Amino acid sequence: MTGNCHVRCGAGENSENYSKSYLSLLLVFRFIEQEVINARESNRNGKNLHTMIIADEAHLFIDAKFPIALDFFFSMSKRIRKYGGSFIPATQNIADWNANEELRGKTTAIIKNSQYTFIFKLSAPDMKDVLDVYSAGDSFNDEEQRMIISAGTGQAFFIGSTELRTCVRIITGENAMALFDDNQNKNKEVKSE
């Protein structure tokens, strides 16, 4: 296959050409899905596993031309809690989730299926994108929008349910801070040499 950037995949009339990266992504998502199923089966046999899938920079995976990631996110957001797990999509660009009508149906469902939502500080244009995503249900009143736009470092607007919506402050513990403290990391490197 060297020199060929496309591979024919599929069966029947609906076969399409997919790039190798698309197929690689499909393999990764199938692997993750199987791991979630394996954890569920282990839990049925007495284990107490909690599977957590975190998709950082999730907006990078959203592409109407290659919907495999969106379909995976959509499926996981609907199923993983009943399998004893969590799916956490994290993004700084909610506008990419709302780019067109084809994407909007599934991305809105992913957000609505979230048990908890944290929205950190946004600019006014980004707030408009969030309002567009939430337009199909509970949106944000003026005070909530002001809280989101004016949030400081470590502050987020938390949505736990229709009734539980508030501004929270995230405080980093000492162990987590130590991971990012350059002075401590340099001291550890010197001691280990």
- pLDDT in the model for residue 22: 75
- Reduced to 3 states (helix: H, G, I; strand: E, B; else coil), residue 141 is coil
Mean pLDDT of 157-179: 89
188 versus 146: the higher-pLDDT residue is 146
- Please give the C-alpha separations between residue 178 and each of 153, 175, 191, in angstroms, as whole numbers: 18, 5, 16
Residue with tokens 């599977």: 51
User: Which of 66, 84, 113 lies at the terminal end of a domain, its last residue?
Assistant: 113
Give the phi and the psi of residue 96 in degrees, each rounded to 5: -65, -25
Q: Which amino acid is at 139?
A: S
Q: For 36-58, what is each residue's pLDDT tens digit? A: 999 999 999 999 998 999 998 88
Q: At what angle do helices 142-149 and 124-133 cross, to 10 degrees?
A: 130
> Is 14's pLDDT higher than 50?
no
Give Cβ neighbours of residue 5 (< 8 Å, ≥ 6 apart). 19, 20
Q: How many domains does the chain have?
A: 2
Structural domain boundaries enclosing 156:
116-193
How many other C-beta atoms lie within 10 A of the C-beta of residue 120?
A: 15
> Is 15's pLDDT higher than 60?
no
User: Which of 113, 136, 155 lies at the terminal end of a domain, its last residue?
Assistant: 113
User: Which of 93, 113, 133 lies at the terminal end of a domain, its last residue?
Assistant: 113
DSSP code of residue 129: H
Pairwise CA distance, residues 138 & 144, whole Å:
12
Residues 31 and 106 in one domain: yes
Q: For 54-64, what is each residue's pLDDT tens digit? A: 998 888 888 77
- pLDDT in the model for residue 41: 93
Residues 50 and 92 in one domain: yes
- pLDDT in the model for residue 187: 53
Is the C-alpha dihedral spanning 104, 107, 109, 111 positive or negative?
negative
Pairwise CA distance, residues 135 & 139, whole Å:
6
Please tell me the pTM assigned to this model.
0.69
The average confidence (pLDDT) of the chain is 80
- State what percent of residues in the chain have pLDDT above 90: 30
| Residue 67's pLDDT band (cuts 50, 70, 90) | confident
| Residue 138's pLDDT band (cuts 50, 70, 90) | low
- pLDDT in the model for residue 12: 36
- pLDDT in the model for residue 131: 86
Q: For 101-135, what is each residue's pLDDT tens digit? A: 778 888 888 887 888 889 999 988 889 888 887 77
Residue 11 lies in a domain: no
